[in-house]
């Protein structure tokens, strides 16, 4: 157990906490997991080595094509349907209008690569609902079982598999199923799908504008003699000028244009010019709780939402957004890329304030507020050792002074009661939401929410009017 | 897709000749196509049937973690499909010796398709042709009714796994079995047993009397037999007449029931929906046998490709390559279940048992291991017997009947368990049990088994369709219930109710924080807390596209 945490625990204990809280906190405190990123090799290994416990599909997994002819087991790749993606979405829209729930989910997408080389997989997916036995349900067994054959006594260990992505955020949504069938597409494609739906709110002109390799083309440059477009006014002026200097206009009260001498050089043309474009910039902080309590779906939900936001930003604002990534348990750290942000495993205790504190510090030290539109997306399960938000609320208040929008997502655990999480309670009690409806948004969802709900959540976080 | 060349076709014909000599039976005509990856891409969503109807879900990745093969009772990568003529697909650059092996495998599959009784309903027509006309029909309806066709397909597919596969089979085999007159059947099956309630002794006497009459009077035997019956039971004739008026109570599955009784579907403007339901139902029925005979089918094919390949004189010099590949296909994995390996070994095992005359009482009474081992009656009937097995069994019967302790011992079968070792942070696989029952349970549990849901006609009141799920210790996938029921509601045109079982809401476990627990730890907790799960019957009601639930 980390002694520093213990001290912290004792201080909050002195402030008084109920037994339920204490239990939760102790649980995190005693959990000795570490944050780590599943290594690339272990992930591919897991995928290739036939995970032995895929239960019922074992028998049916075999097929003549791969077994006899070693032909790859391809499926209709999403690349085939990608052109028709718009059509599919259109169909889904229509479905909703016809009074049936939507059926297509877009962007079961993953695969952040190292060093900013995110590969995002856009796969339109769906399920075919039927009455089926829930094969994963088996109360009588405390552990999964499978067939086997060979030497050995009962009880003998015949193999080991490292606990990799079973635990924490390594397994992104849909990764397991997508497996070898995925097609790698750029984040751009996902962004394209999402783009119609959102827009960054409150974007303002701020200080330093940044030049991008963006140009606009305009007919602003003038050229004498040749060009694309005759600027009549300028040409006429020039002609008059020339004729005055030639003494060809004796009486300015009575000008006879038919007597003008016109030199080819007098013709002023507009030509196409390349203009540099400067645009307001945005800086996005992605922050998430990776404490022990985030285990499982809560993390999945938060990172999925952040992937959605991230890929949308990449598309919509291209390089006009910079992203920073912050992870926190009881202490916050900034990580260098989305990959690390996405994949780091959960462990440790929870102190929400730490993340906001770090973001505030970064903004202050680097003087970012002056030049950037700053947006913050924060995801948590709503659990916080700092029960009343005594430390978090001031940090959030401080953040509101410079940020254009702070969006907090709470993925509530299933066993939680409605409106019961600490973070939700203290944010609501603080009155910040009412005071700054345009700057602070809070979205609470259950951890088993689906993608449409996530997207709705994003809309809520970034919509313009309250 | 193109046909294989003449050279390869000749090899195939040679294989057919040799396979026939060994007793395999199949139609003369077959079609073999070369497929590229691109072809496969297009074929697999259509479960290898090139002419299957178009449906947008085929274009989308379908998430299957939940139901996997429960959703599609068919392997999308079959090399050979059950059509007339049977069509099989091949890689472009297979060497000849490999093609020989695959051809034998394919021929054994075709033999299985065309002789196993679970495929009975697919014997009388060519599915590719049927599928093509269905596809055209659906295309035509789509041009008339637009997107509603796709909704109907979706809703119909929502219940296509409940199609009455077994009653379809029983209907087909029944018509074959019916050799005696209806009146006779009524007399012996209904009248004597349920109306007159004769004892077994008297029943047998009646049969004897009937046989005597037939012997004595030949053609007029039955008439004379009944004239005596009428003397004793004058009511018999009238009852028989009445029984004929009553419609035979065939079991209807949900799709049939909807087509027959839904007021909505029977409106003139909605009649087209019924043809879609019919198509979806037939398609589902066509695919059902494949998944119910996976172990047998692959075992049978492996048995024969091995047996026939080794006897084939054309492939001399490729024994080693064959041995390597074949070992890869048919070895029992250390962990997991391989249908090729298991099925093939079972067929060999059954053949041996019968050859030695071990399937009889005398053998079963022997407990001495050595004596059991030596037992050999040399019946030479093994081969014949496995042909009967391939004709009459499906996977679950196959496992239940033949996977016994001797087989398990010989192949060293065991059940693997998995547990977390927290010190090393690894999952450990260990030998959990070598008991036959445990192994059989794992195997049988992994077989395809759709839920049994029937229509409770007595509770169908006020245009409400009442479905009753016969509970088999496994709940339904909860998140699928709403949409499935919504589909049925649409097709039924009224309220739909589903009675099923669920776990009684567990009290939040005390003193633990579930998400923190690793799944294993949680399970241990459960085990110590409550040994048994409490089930309760619940009633889902779908009304106006809104789902509600109450506990019964």
Residue of B nearest to A129 (CA): B480
Q: What pLDDT, on the 0 to 100 scale, is given for residue B248?
A: 56
| Inter-chain touch B520–A143, beta carbons under 8 Å | yes
Q: Are A315 and A187 in contact (CB under 8 A)?
A: yes
| Inter-chain touch A52–B154, beta carbons under 8 Å | no
**Rounded Cα distance, B115 and B109, in Å:** 10
| Inter-chain touch A133–B449, beta carbons under 8 Å | yes
Residues 6+ apart with CB under 8 A from A333: A326, A327, A358
Q: Of A116-130, B38-52, B455-469, B489-503, where does mean pLDDT reach its minimum?
A: A116-130
Region A295-310: what's the mean pLDDT?
A: 78
Q: Are A103 and A96 in contact (CB under 8 A)?
A: no
Closest approach of A186 to chain B, Cα-based (Å): 18
From the number of C-beta atoms within 10 Å of its C-beta (0-12, 13-18, 19+), residue B498 rates as: buried
| Inter-chain touch A62–B44, beta carbons under 8 Å | no
| Inter-chain touch A158–B334, beta carbons under 8 Å | yes
**Rounded Cα distance, B268 and A427, in Å:** 59
Q: What pLDDT, on the 0 to 100 scale, is given for residue A299?
A: 80
- Residue among A127, A157, A292 minimizing CB distance to B430: A157
| Inter-chain touch A126–B63, beta carbons under 8 Å | yes
Region B296-317: what's the mean pLDDT?
A: 92
Taking contacts as CB-CB distances below 8 angstroms, the residues of chain B near A38 are: none
Q: Of A443-452, B4-13, B83-92, B325-334, where does mean pLDDT reach its minimum?
A: A443-452
Taking contacts as CB-CB distances below 8 angstroms, the residues of chain A near B520 are: 142-143
Q: Which residue did the predictor score with more confidence, B460 or B279?
A: B279
Q: Of A9-13, A225-229, B5-9, B466-470, where does mean pLDDT reach its minimum?
A: A9-13
User: What is the ipTM metric for this complex?
Assistant: 0.79
* Residue of A413, A375, A405 whose CA lies nearest to A466: A405
B468 CB near a chain A CB, below 8 Å? no
Domains and CATH numbers, chain A: 31-71+183-209+280-466 (3.40.50.410), 213-277 (no CATH)
Taking contacts as CB-CB distances below 8 angstroms, the residues of chain A near B76 are: 63, 75
Asked whether residue A277 carries a pLDDT value surpassing 70, the answer given is no
DSSP for residue B192: I
| Inter-chain touch B63–A130, beta carbons under 8 Å | no
B95 CB near a chain A CB, below 8 Å? no
Q: For chains A and B, count residue pairs whose Cβ atoms are closer than 8 Å.
A: 339
For residue A423, CA distances in Å to A293, A325, A461, B9 come to 14, 20, 16, 72
| Inter-chain touch A130–B339, beta carbons under 8 Å | no
Burial B229-258 (b: 16+ CB within 10 A, else e): beeeeeebeeebeeeeeeeeeeebbbbbbb
Q: Are strands A229-230 and A281-289 parallel, antiparallel or unpaired?
A: unpaired
- Residue among A81, A84, A158 minimizing CB distance to B430: A158
DSSP for residue A114: G
| Inter-chain touch B68–A80, beta carbons under 8 Å | no
| Inter-chain touch A75–B41, beta carbons under 8 Å | yes
Residue of B nearest to A447 (CA): B515
- pLDDT over 90 for what percent of chain A? 0
| Inter-chain touch B513–A27, beta carbons under 8 Å | yes
User: Average model confidence (pLDDT) for chain A?
Assistant: 70
Region A294-303: what's the mean pLDDT?
A: 78
Q: Where are the alpha helices (DSSP H) in A196-331?
A: 232-245, 297-316
pLDDT digits (tens, 9 = 90+) for B227-252: 888 888 888 878 888 777 765 556 78
Q: What pLDDT, on the 0 to 100 scale, is given for residue B474?
A: 85
B 473-492: CB under 8 A from A: 474-484, 486-487
What's the distance, Cα to Cα, between the start and end of chain A in Å? 44
Residue among A27, A64, A174 with most chain B CBs within 10 A, to mutate: A64
Q: Are B349 and B368 in contact (CB under 8 A)?
A: no
* Residue of A436, A448, A385, A450 whose CA lies nearest to A407: A436
Closest approach of A391 to chain B, Cα-based (Å): 25
B 283-302: CB under 8 A from A: 291, 294-295, 298
| Inter-chain touch A156–B430, beta carbons under 8 Å | yes
Asked whether residue A6 carries a pLDDT value surpassing 80, the answer given is no
Q: Which of A443-457, B104-118, B161-175 has the highest mean pLDDT?
A: B104-118
Residue of B nearest to A125 (CA): B61
Q: What pLDDT, on the 0 to 100 scale, is given for residue B101?
A: 93
Residue of B nearest to A24 (CA): B513
| Inter-chain touch B418–A149, beta carbons under 8 Å | no
Closest approach of A161 to chain B, Cα-based (Å): 5
B79 CB near a chain A CB, below 8 Å? yes
Region B508-523: what's the mean pLDDT?
A: 41
Taking contacts as CB-CB distances below 8 angstroms, the residues of chain B near A167 are: 518
Q: Of A68-72, A390-394, B29-33, B121-125, where does mean pLDDT reach its minimum?
A: A68-72
User: Average model confidence (pLDDT) for chain B?
Assistant: 85
| Inter-chain touch A147–B478, beta carbons under 8 Å | no
B503 CB near a chain A CB, below 8 Å? yes
Q: Are B485 and B531 in contact (CB under 8 A)?
A: no
| Inter-chain touch B62–A125, beta carbons under 8 Å | yes
Q: Which residue did the predictor score with more confidence, B130 or A317?
A: B130
- Residue among B340, B447, B513 minimizing CB distance to A62: B340
3-state DSSP assignment of residue B496: strand
**Rounded Cα distance, A92 and A452, in Å:** 12
Region A417-427: what's the mean pLDDT?
A: 75
B 397-456: CB under 8 A from A: 411-421, 424-434, 439, 442-443, 445-451, 453
Region B391-405: what's the mean pLDDT?
A: 94
Q: Which residue did the predictor score with more confidence, B176 or B46?
A: B46
| Inter-chain touch A160–B427, beta carbons under 8 Å | yes
Taking contacts as CB-CB distances below 8 angstroms, the residues of chain B near A144 are: 417-418
Residues 6+ apart with CB under 8 A from A456: none
| Inter-chain touch B443–A71, beta carbons under 8 Å | no
Region A57-83: what's the mean pLDDT?
A: 61
Helix axes B6-21, B96-115, angle to 10 degrees: 50
Question: Can the peptide bond before residue B85 be classed as cis, meaning omega within 30 degrees of 0?
Answer: yes
Residue among B408, B417, B500, B512 with most chain A CBs within 10 A, to mutate: B417
Asked whether residue B523 carries a pLDDT value surpassing 50, the answer given is no
Confidence of residue B60 (pLDDT cuts 50, 70, 90): low
- Residue among B151, B434, B480 minimizing CB distance to A129: B480
| Inter-chain touch B60–A81, beta carbons under 8 Å | yes
- Residue among B161, B412, B518 minimizing CB distance to A151: B412
pLDDT digits (tens, 9 = 90+) for A16-37: 666 766 777 777 666 656 665 5
Q: Of A98-107, A160-169, B503-512, where does mean pLDDT reach its minimum?
A: A160-169
Q: What pLDDT, on the 0 to 100 scale, is given for residue A192?
A: 56
Q: Where are the alpha helices (DSSP H) in A268-387?
A: 297-316, 338-343, 352-365
Question: HSE of A168 in the Cβ direction (CA atoms, 13 Å)?
Answer: 23
Q: Of A165-169, B297-301, B469-473, where does mean pLDDT reach its minimum?
A: A165-169
* Residue of A344, A334, A282 whose CA lies nearest to A310: A282
Region B19-35: what's the mean pLDDT?
A: 93
Confidence of residue A259 (pLDDT cuts 50, 70, 90): confident
Q: Which of B191-205, B306-320, B523-537 has the highest mean pLDDT?
A: B306-320
Q: Which of A177-186, B63-72, B196-205, B494-503 has the highest mean pLDDT?
A: B494-503
pLDDT digits (tens, 9 = 90+) for A376-419: 889 888 888 877 778 888 888 888 888 888 888 888 877 666 65
| Inter-chain touch B477–A296, beta carbons under 8 Å | no
Taking contacts as CB-CB distances below 8 angstroms, the residues of chain A near B417 are: 143-145
Closest approach of B473 to chain A, Cα-based (Å): 9
Closest approach of A351 to chain B, Cα-based (Å): 17
């Amino acid at each position: 157990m980390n002694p520093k945490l213990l001290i912290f625990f004792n201080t909050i204990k002195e402030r008084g906490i109920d037994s339920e809280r204490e239990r939760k906190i102790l649980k995190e405190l005693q959990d000795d997991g570490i944050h780590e990123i599943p290594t690339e090799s272990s992930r591919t290994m897991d995928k290739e080595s036939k995970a032995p416990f895929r239960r019922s599909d074992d028998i049916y997994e075999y097929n003549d094509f791969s077994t006899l002819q070693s032909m790859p087991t391809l499926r209709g790749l999403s690349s085939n349907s990608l052109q028709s993606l718009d059509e599919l979405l259109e169909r889904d829209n229509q479905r909703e209008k016809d009074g049936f729930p939507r059926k297509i989910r877009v962007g079961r997408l993953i695969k952040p690569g190292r060093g900013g080389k995110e590969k995002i997989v856009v796969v339109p997916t769906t399920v075919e609902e039927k009455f089926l036995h829930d094969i994963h349900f088996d109360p009588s067994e405390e552990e999964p079982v499978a067939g086997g054959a060979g030497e050995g006594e009962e009880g003998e260990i015949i193999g080991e598999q490292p606990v990799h992505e079973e635990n924490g955020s390594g397994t992104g949504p849909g990764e397991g199923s997508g497996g070898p069938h995925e097609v790698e597409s750029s984040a751009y494609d996902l962004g394209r799908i999402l783009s119609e739906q959102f827009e960054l709110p409150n974007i303002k002109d701020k200080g330093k504008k940044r030049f991008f390799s963006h140009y606009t083309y305009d007919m602003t440059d003038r050229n004498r003699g040749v060009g694309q477009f005759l600027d009549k006014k300028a040409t006429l002026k020039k002609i008059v000028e020339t004729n005055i200097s030639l003494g060809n206009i004796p009486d300015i009260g009575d000008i006879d244009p038919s007597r003008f001498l016109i030199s080819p050089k007098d013709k002023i043309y507009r030509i196409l010019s390349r203009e540099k474009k400067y645009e307001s910039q945005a800086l996005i902080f992605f922050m998430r709780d990776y404490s022990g309590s985030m285990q499982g779906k809560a993390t999945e939900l938060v990172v999925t939402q952040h992937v959605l936001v991230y890929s949308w930003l990449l598309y919509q604002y291209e390089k006009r957004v910079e992203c920073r990534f912050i992870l926190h348990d009881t202490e916050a750290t900034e990580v260098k890329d989305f990959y690390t942000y996405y994949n780091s495993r959960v462990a440790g205790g929870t102190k929400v304030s730490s993340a906001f504190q770090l973001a505030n510090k970064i903004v202050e030290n680097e003087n970012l507020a002056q030049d950037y539109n700053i947006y913050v997306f924060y995801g948590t399960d709503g659990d916080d050792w700092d029960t009343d938000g005594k430390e978090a609320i001031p940090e959030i208040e401080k953040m509101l002074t410079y940020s254009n929008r702070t969006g907090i997502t709470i993925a509530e655990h299933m066993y939680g009661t409605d409106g019961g999480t600490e973070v939700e309670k203290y944010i609501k009690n603080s009155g910040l939401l009412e005071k700054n409806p345009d700057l602070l948004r809070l979205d609470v969802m259950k951890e088993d929410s689906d993608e449409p709900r996530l997207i709705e959540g994003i809309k809520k976080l970034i919509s313009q009017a309250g | 897709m193109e046909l294989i060349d003449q050279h390869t076709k000749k090899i195939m014909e040679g294989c057919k000749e040799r396979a026939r000599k060994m007793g395999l039976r199949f139609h003369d005509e077959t079609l073999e196509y070369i497929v590229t990856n691109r072809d496969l891409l297009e074929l697999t969503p259509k479960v290898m049937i090139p002419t299957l109807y178009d449906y947008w879900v085929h274009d989308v990745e379908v998430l299957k973690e939940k139901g996997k093969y429960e959703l599609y009772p068919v392997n999308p990568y079959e090399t050979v499909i059950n059509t007339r003529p049977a069509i099989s697909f091949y890689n472009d650059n297979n060497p000849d010796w490999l093609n020989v092996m695959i051809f034998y495998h394919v021929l054994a599959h075709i033999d299985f398709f065309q002789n196993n009784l679970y495929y009975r309903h697919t014997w009388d027509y060519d599915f590719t042709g049927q599928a093509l006309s269905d596809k055209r029909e659906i295309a035509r309806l789509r041009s008339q009714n637009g997107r509603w066709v796709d909704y109907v397909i979706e809703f119909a597919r929502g219940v296509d796994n409940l199609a009455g596969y077994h009653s379809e089979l029983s209907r087909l085999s029944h018509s074959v079995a019916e050799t005696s007159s209806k009146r006779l059947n009524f007399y012996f099956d209904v009248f004597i047993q349920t109306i007159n309630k004769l004892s077994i002794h008297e029943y047998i006497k009646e049969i004897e009397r009937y046989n005597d009459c037939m012997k004595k009077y030949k053609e007029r035997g039955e008439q004379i037999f009944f004239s005596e019956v009428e003397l004793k039971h004058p009511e018999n004739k009238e009852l028989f007449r009445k029984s004929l008026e009553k419609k035979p109570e065939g079991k209807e599955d949900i799709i049939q029931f909807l087509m027959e009784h839904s007021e909505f579907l029977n409106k003139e403007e909605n009649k087209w929906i019924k043809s879609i339901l019919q198509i979806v139902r037939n398609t589902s029925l066509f695919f059902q046998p494949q998944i119910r005979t996976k172990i047998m089918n692959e075992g049978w094919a492996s048995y024969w490709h091995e047996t026939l390949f080794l006897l084939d004189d054309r492939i001399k010099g490729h024994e080693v390559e064959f041995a390597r590949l074949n070992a890869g296909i048919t070895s029992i994995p250390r962990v997991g279940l391989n249908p090729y390996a298991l099925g093939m070994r079972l067929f060999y095992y059954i053949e041996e048992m019968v050859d030695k005359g071990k399937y009889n009482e005398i053998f079963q009474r022997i407990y001495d291991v050595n004596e059991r081992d030596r037992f050999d009656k040399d019946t030479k009937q093994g081969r014949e017997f496995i042909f009967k097995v391939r004709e009459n069994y499906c996977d679950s019967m196959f496992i239940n009947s033949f996977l016994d302790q001797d087989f398990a011992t010989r192949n060293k079968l065991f059940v693997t368990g998995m547990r977390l070792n927290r010190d090393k942070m690894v999952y450990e696989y260990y030998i959990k049990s070598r008991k036959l029952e445990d192994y059989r349970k794992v195997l049988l549990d992994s077989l395809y088994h759709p839920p049994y849901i029937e229509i409770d006609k007595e509770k169908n009141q006020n245009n409400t369709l009442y479905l009753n799920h016969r509970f088999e210790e496994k709940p339904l996938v909860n998140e699928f219930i709403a949409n499935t029921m919504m589909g049925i509601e649409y097709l039924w045109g009224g309220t739909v109710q589903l009675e099923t079982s669920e776990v009684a809401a567990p009290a939040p476990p005390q003193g633990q924080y579930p998400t923190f627990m690793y799944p294993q730890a949680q399970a241990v907790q459960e085990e110590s807390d409550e040994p048994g799960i409490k089930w309760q019957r619940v009633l889902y009601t779908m009304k106006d596209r809104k789902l509600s639930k109450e506990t019964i």
